[in-house]
Structure 1
């Protein structure tokens, strides 16, 4: 995300596109998993987490497209949405790792 931010504010659209695409492509549920691995993953994490994660990676794909189209305004909008998604997820599901994030109060 930091690389995308820097690239976005310096007009490096190719870097925005490549970095956002890399985030999109890292979505765990799109990886090659055995049926058992997928079942284990789905039972190990809350459904709300999966929903937020899917949304985050979908936003990343849209951000990659905005980078390819050199649309800075759309890049900023999508980046802001991704950031809100990160804060919501970190505040709700991994607040022990990120105790300074309190999504519910912000």
Structure 2
């Protein structure tokens, strides 16, 4: 297991969506995905533990509710698996992935 169980909080739909994104960036097989994520594992876990700025604290508190928000603070994690994968893609593919994600999110 590359990432802690606490980060396993994504829906099947979210996992399917990020799998399609990986394929779009030529990451096709389970082995390729594993090696890709392993390359950034430590960095991703460090990012996941970073304190949130006040904007994101407010956003997550409203989105998650007080109890779940405080649990994520206590357990020091913010991202489910798809967000970790997307962060790795931002690191690896830079502007190309940023452009793709802006288009996906209609930004």
Coarse TM-score class (shorter-chain normalised): under 0.3
Between the two structures, name the one with larger relative contact order (CA 8 Å, sep ≥ 6). Answer: 2
**Structure whose CA Rg is larger:** 1
| TM-score computed with the length of structure 1 as normaliser | 0.27
| TM-score computed with the length of structure 2 as normaliser | 0.26
